[in-house]
Structure 1
Amino acid sequence: MELTVRGLTKSFGRRLVLDSLDLDFGKGVTGLLGRNGAGKTTLLRTLATTLAPDGGQVCALGLDPADRAQRTELRRRLGYLPQNPGFYPHFTVFELVEYVAILKELTDRRDRHREVRRVLAEVELADRAKTKVRKLSGGMRQRLALAQSLLGDPDLLILDEPTVGLDPEQRMRFRALVSRLGESRTVLLSTHQTEDVAALCERVVVMKGGRSVFEGTPGELAGAARGQVWLSDRAPDAARLFWRTADGRYRALGDRPPGGVPAEPGVEDGYLLLLDEPVEVTA
């Protein structure tokens, strides 16, 4: 495995955020799902070496980030897009990415500029190279953050909510880029978009209360809801979760409602049932 986690724990004050977590990640794209506060961002920050755990072990690309020298080497080989990336608004797009490239020890100016142009082209910002960061839209800033994470062609790519602010076309292009990257390296991404997981990820991990409550393929997660997804003409009285669909029928999760007919489950169905959150969702 390219990345292993054993007994990982982390607390903030009295709040236990990661609870003796064990996980394995190989090459390909793995999606991390979970409601807010499940521990996803804390896990990704730990794997990206920006946060030290309270206990447990991480081995990434054969390196131990608890060792200072190995942690430095790991940082050279990983790319990280944090949940809330910081920007210098008065820099141009090119200047900002070049600044990060310098921090990543790309010392040769000609090679560095070539690499900056490459990653800007990857995220379709080449034509914005001279634009000030403050003038970019939210979606463009998110793509700029993604460009920084791609510097140096990392072996391990860690992306926290990478599709926030992207329009449907940008989201599609992001999926194409990440799926290609996942052919030759380990990509781990956190998202609230179950459709991204279904379309992009080979594996999915669902976190709840600092633990992993599911590991498998998106198909297996959807399959976990088989026999518990229904369509009916009337709003169910006892369903744990239901919503009105575009055709006027109700999609219900849980026990069969009166007049309900079976529906093909999706990733979102399996995810919601797994968390078993007692809320009503209407549209």
Structure 2
Amino acid sequence: MELAVDVRALTKRYGQKRVIGGLDLGVSSGVTGLLGPNGAGKTTLLRCLATVLAPDTGEVRVLGLDPADHAQRAALRRRIGYLPQDPELYGHFTVAQMVDYIAILKELTGRRERLDEVRRVLAEVDLSAQAAVKVKKLSGGMRQRLGIAVALVADPDFIILDEPTVGLDPEQRMRFRTLISRLGETKVVLLSTHQTEDVAALCERVVVFRAGAAVFDGTPDELAWQAEGKVWSTVSRPAGSEVFWRTVDGRYRVVGGRPQDGQVVEPTVEDGYLRLLSDTQEKIS
């Protein structure tokens, strides 16, 4: 399968701190999720792929183009939609003006063409009724939805989303999943998230990062089964340092060693993620 994103031996440092070290990663069509703790390198990787940052060493090809080449980088930016963690939205613009401004930057020169595009992307994120509202008056969730709309301007081939569901209420999160699953049928979507339920619902593939390296690459089901035989239900509060929490039925769910009277239960993506991080931390230590 032809790769839409091909990363070879990518490294990136901030001062003396190595954020990504020798990363190899290939991404093809569909929806791929990035999981990992804060500081794992996910955002840095996305910024490199979005051409916001240049890697220190290594090779990157996105949609067959080399971001290190000025002309190819300009061509690539026309085909990328990017939602950063903290999107820069101008508070004195209306919602429609903000999207129209991005459409101009994406070289949609016709006024009617831009108007149609503004209407299209605002409808995608359920902001049509807020088109004339100033950005500074939007709620946090609405601002996030506007950031997603901006990333969809000009129908990009490669969509990069960094924590896209932050601030969205449950209804809007479901609407987002519907949108992204549809886009993933024909486009390349790469999203970073802390929400394991979004990964389980949306992603055909998930890559887990820790300390600037990919420590897992597979399907959500394969990630869940990293905790096979290591997830338990018990009526007694566990002792020791295992990960556990009290569930609504009054029992305790434990990820790790078997507690007294523990009954094994089927793992979830979250269980597999927690167990994987625990295992890799032990190896690092």
What TM-score does the superposition give when structure 1 sets the normalisation length?
0.97
CA separation of 1:180 and 1:130: change in aligned 2, threshold 3 A: same
Aligned pair 1:139/2:144, yes or no?
no
- What letter matches 1:241 in structure 2? V
Distance in 1 between the 2:21 and 2:69 partners? 22
Distance in 1 between the 2:280 and 2:102 partners? 44
Aligned partners of 1:79 and 1:151 also within 8 Å: yes
Distance in 1 between the 2:241 and 2:146 partners? 43
Who is 2:69 aligned against? 67
Distance in 1 between the 2:65 and 2:88 partners? 27
1:137-196 alpha-carbon deviations (Å, 9 max, x no partner): 111100000000001110000000000000000000000000000000110000000000
Who is 1:193 aligned against? 195
Aligned pair 1:118/2:120, yes or no?
yes
Matches for 1:27-42 after TM superposition, within 5 Å: 27-42=29-44
Who is 1:23 aligned against? 25
Aligned pair 1:48/2:50, yes or no?
yes
Aligned pair 1:96/2:120, yes or no?
no
Aligned pair 1:254/2:282, yes or no?
no
Who is 1:161 aligned against? 163
Distance in 2 between the 1:60 and 1:170 partners? 30
Who is 2:178 aligned against? 176
User: Percent identity between the aligned chains?
Assistant: 65
Bigger mean CA offset, 86-95 vs 234-243: 234-243
Who is 1:10 aligned against? 12
The Cα of 1:104 is off from its aligned counterpart by: 1.0
Distance in 2 between the 1:27 and 1:152 partners? 18
- Could you list the runs of 5+ residues in structure 1 that have no partner in the other structure? none
Aligned match for 2:268, one of 266, 269, 279: 266
Aligned partners of 1:239 and 1:253 also within 8 Å: no
- Could you list the runs of 5+ residues in structure 2 that have no partner in the other structure? none
Bigger mean CA offset, 127-136 vs 71-80: 127-136
Distance in 1 between the 2:53 and 2:280 partners? 33
Aligned match for 1:229, one of 228, 231, 237: 231
Distance in 1 between the 2:145 and 2:257 partners? 42
Runs of 4+, deviation exceeding 4 Å: none
Equivalent pairs, count: 279
The Cα of 1:277 is off from its aligned counterpart by: 7.9
Who is 1:275 aligned against? 277
Distance in 1 between the 2:26 and 2:236 partners? 44
SS at match of 1:265: coil
SS at match of 2:254: strand
SS at match of 1:106: coil
RMSD: 1.3
The Cα of 1:238 is off from its aligned counterpart by: 3.1
SS at match of 2:227: coil
Who is 1:81 aligned against? 83
Distance in 2 between the 1:249 and 1:125 partners? 42
Distance in 2 between the 1:178 and 1:234 partners? 41
Aligned partners of 1:239 and 1:257 also within 8 Å: no
Distance in 2 between the 1:278 and 1:266 partners? 18
SS at match of 1:224: helix
Distance in 2 between the 1:81 and 1:244 partners? 36
